[in-house]
Structures are given as structure tokens and as C-alpha cells.
């Protein structure tokens, strides 16, 4: 079985501060080591469950957080910024399953380091009326290709938000919310054990798993923080204003919706950072 793994970082047990997630300082290096161990735990569990090929897409920040020669299972590694499909780069219909590792809750949620793609731009995102984070938005690509999302790991809110859109997804909750900059995490060794066990269980169900069950036409509504961001986002094909700070992307082509969303996020980044 061929497996696609998208790894974020903020959902890693023990990671609670932005200093652990960005840059090249000692705290960031420590955060990357924790992330690598959780990614490897998911890979090992997937292989125990029958996976024969793993592709890891580094989806956090500059997207070069993992040392390629330390990734388990001889997994291939997609890294680097400015990927056309961002957090889902590399996924196509040849895959049998998708794993989301170290995911976090959506912007505004009771979750550590909560955000949705760009915390300076996005105030809330909803798919067909359901509030979602990055996992739900990324699942649009999996649904387009007909590939089931079988695992999500991270904080409790990330797992709950994913399950709201993908019933039956296997979830490994490795930390509980205390505040946006504090969490009660499992010991890293216990978190890895849980991830490995849950990944193995998830893979055992791949034969009967279904792609994310989005009802089409899909509507992705995005509330943004300023009218300037909203106006600039409408320069992207498929993005329309539904209010002064409300964007709407809708249709039957789930990949096109995702592409328009990512393009709008990229286009408005400089405006959002200037606020």
C-alpha cells in the first residue's frame, strides 16, 4: 500500500511556543527532533499495518524541518517552500491512504498555537458551514483524488475538527489544551507509542475506508482580518466576496477550490504582514 504523510509541527507533544516551531535556534532544533520522532512513529505504524511505500510532505513553515536521512521506512521526502499544492504536494490517485501528523486546531479554537494557514490573514474557515482547520481544507485534495484520510495526530481540537468532516478517521491525541501557549502533553515516548499503534490500526482499515465525504457543490467560506486582505484575495480566480471581510470559494472541483484558497493565502501574505 502506498501512503502519503503530511507533517505539520504545532501538534507535536511538547511543542507549545513559536520559538520551537520557527527559525534555527536551539529551541527550534529541539522541536524538530520531537517532530521527527512522531513522523517516524507514524511511518513505523503504517508499515506494521501493511504500507509498502511512504511519501512524506513536510508541510510546516519553510517545509524543510526533517533530516532526510533520519526519516524512517526509507520514505521519500518532499520539502521546500512554494509548492503548488502546499501541504498536499505530491498526492495523487495512486495513493491508498493519507496520514496527517502533528496537526493543530483551527484559528480561534481552544488549542495550542492555533491558526489556519496564515494567522495574520485568516480569522475562520468553514466547509459547508462547519468550522475547520488545515486538516479539513487539506482533505479537499484527498477527496478530489479519491484517497481516504485514515489518521490524524496532534492536539485534541485538531482531531475533533478532522473527525467532524471525516467520520471514522483514526485519531491520536497527544496533548490537551491549557492555553494558546501552554499544553498538557503526553511524554514523548508515550506519544510516539500511541501514534505508532493508531497508525497501524488505521492502515488495517484502509480496504474499507472511504474518501472524505464532502457534499458537492462544496462551499469554502473564509473570514479574513481586514478588508484589504479580502479585496486582494478576490484577484484570484474563483474567490468572491460574500461580505466586507468574507471570502467564498465554491464548486464541484475540490482541487480547484483548494488551489484558489492557497493562491489567495500566498497573494495576501505581504498585505497581512503589513497590518
**What is the SS3 assignment for 71?**
coil
DSSP category for residue 86: G
Q: For 221-258, how does the pLDDT look when each residue is reduced to its tens digit (9 = 90+)?
A: 999 999 999 999 999 999 999 999 999 999 999 999 99
Gap between the Cα atoms of 148 and 67, Å rounded: 27
What pLDDT score does 82 carry?
Answer: 87
Q: Which is the CATH superfamily of the domain at 2-116+133-208? A: Dipeptide transport protein (3.40.50.10780)
State the distance between the two ends of the chain, measured CA to CA, in whole angstroms: 46
Alpha helices in the chain (DSSP H): 26-48, 134-145, 156-165, 188-204, 227-233, 254-274
What pLDDT score does 148 carry?
Answer: 98
Active site residue: 104, 115, 144, 170, which one? Answer: 115
Give backbone dihedrals phi and psi of 49, rounded to 5 degrees, phi first: -90, 0
What pLDDT score does 166 carry?
Answer: 97
pTM summary value: 0.97
Gap between the Cα atoms of 200 and 184, Å rounded: 25
Domain range list for the chain? 2-116+133-208, 218-274
Q: Which residues pair with 172 in a beta bridge?
A: 153
Cell matching residue 98 = 493519507
Cell matching residue 34 = 520531537
Q: Which position has the grid cell 489518521? A: 151
- Let me know if 177 is a catalytic residue: no
Q: Are 34 and 188 in contact (CB under 8 A)?
A: yes
pLDDT means per 10 residues in the chain (275 residues)? Answer: 98 98 96 98 98 98 97 98 95 98 95 94 97 98 98 98 97 97 98 98 97 97 97 97 98 98 93 76
Q: Which class would CATH give 218-274?
A: alpha beta
Gap between the Cα atoms of 202 and 31, Å rounded: 26
Measured in whole angstroms, the distance separating CA 118 from the mean position of its chain's CA atoms is: 12
Cβ neighbours of 69 (radius 10 Å): 6
User: For residue 44, what is the enclosing H or E element?
Assistant: helix 26-48
Report CA Rg, the chain.
Answer: 17
Amino acid at each position: 500500500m502506498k501512503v502519503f504523510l503530511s507533517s505539520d509541527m504545532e501538534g507535536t507533544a511538547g511543542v507549545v511556543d513559536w520559538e520551537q516551531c520557527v527559525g534555527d535556534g536551539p529551541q527550534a532544533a529541539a522541536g524538530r527532533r520531537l517532530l521527527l520522532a512522531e513522523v517516524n512513529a507514524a511511518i513505523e505504524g503504517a508499515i506494521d499495518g501493511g504500507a509498502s511505500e511512504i511519501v512524506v510532505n513536510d508541510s510546516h513553515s519553510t517545509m524543510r524541518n526533517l533530516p532526510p536521512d533520519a526519516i524512517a521506512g526509507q520514505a521519500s521526502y518532499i520539502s521546500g517552500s512554494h509548492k503548488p499544492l502546499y501541504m498536499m504536494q505530491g498526492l495523487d490517485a495512486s495513493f491508498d491512504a493519507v496520514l496527517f501528523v502533528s496537526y493543530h486546531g483551527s484559528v480561534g479554537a481552544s488549542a495550542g498555537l492555533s491558526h489556519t494557514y496564515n494567522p495574520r490573514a485568516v480569522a475562520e474557515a468553514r466547509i459547508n458551514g462547519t468550522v475547520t482547520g488545515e486538516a479539513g481544507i487539506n482533505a479537499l485534495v484527498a477527496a478530489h483524488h479519491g484517497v481516504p484520510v485514515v489518521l490524524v495526530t496532534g492536539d485534541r481540537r485538531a482531531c475533533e475538527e478532522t473527525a467532524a468532516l471525516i467520520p471514522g478517521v483514526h485519531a491520536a491525541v497527544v496533548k490537551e489544551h491549557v492555553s494558546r501557549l501552554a499544553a498538557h502533553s503526553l511524554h514523548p515516548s508515550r506519544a510516539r507509542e500511541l501514534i505508532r499503534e493508531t497508525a497501524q490500526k488505521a492502515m488495517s482499515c484502509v480496504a474499507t475506508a472511504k474518501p472524505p465525504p464532502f457534499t458537492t457543490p462544496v462551499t469554502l467560506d473564509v473570514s479574513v482580518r481586514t478588508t484589504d486582505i479580502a479585496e486582494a484575495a478576490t484577484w484570484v480566480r474563483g474567490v468572491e466576496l460574500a461580505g466586507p471581510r468574507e471570502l467564498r470559494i465554491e464548486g464541484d472541483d475540490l482541487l480547484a477550490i483548494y488551489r484558489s484558497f492557497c493562491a489567495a493565502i500566498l497573494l495576501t501574505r505581504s498585505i497581512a504582514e503589513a497590518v
